[in-house]
Amino acid sequence: MNFSNFSERIIQIKNDRNLLQKDIANAIELSIRNYQRYEKGEQQPTLPVLLKLADYFDVSLDYFLGRSDDPTRY
C-alpha cells in the first residue's frame, strides 16, 4: 500500500472541506495526535481506522490508497 498517497489525500480532503484535524479525530474516535501522525506519514493507519476515515469522508479505500483517482464509493 502506498501510504504517502493516503497522507496527501486526507490533507487534500480536509482542506477542500474546510475541516479541522480535531473535528476529524473526534468524529472517528481517534486522538488528535494519532490523526496528525497519519497526515505527516509518521504512522500507518490500521484497517479499522482506514474504514472509519473512508466512511467519514465518503470516499473509497482505493482512492485513499492511491489505487484510483475516483473518490466515488461503489
pLDDT in tens, the chain (74 residues): 567 788 999 999 999 999 999 999 999 999 999 999 999 999 999 999 999 999 999 999 888 888 777 777 66
pLDDT at 66: 80
pLDDT at 74: 61
CA distance 70 to 27: 24
Query: What is the separation of C-alpha 74 from the centre of its chain, rounded to a whole number of angstroms?
Result: 18
* DSSP 8-state assignment for residue 65: T
pLDDT at 1: 58
Q: Of 53, 71, 73, whose CA–CA distance to 10 is shortest?
A: 53
Is-contact 29 36, C-beta < 8 A?
no
pLDDT at 52: 96
The counts of H helices and E strands in the chain are 5, 0
CA distance 2 to 23: 25
Domains of the chain: 6-65 (1.10.260.40)
Whole-prediction pTM: 0.85
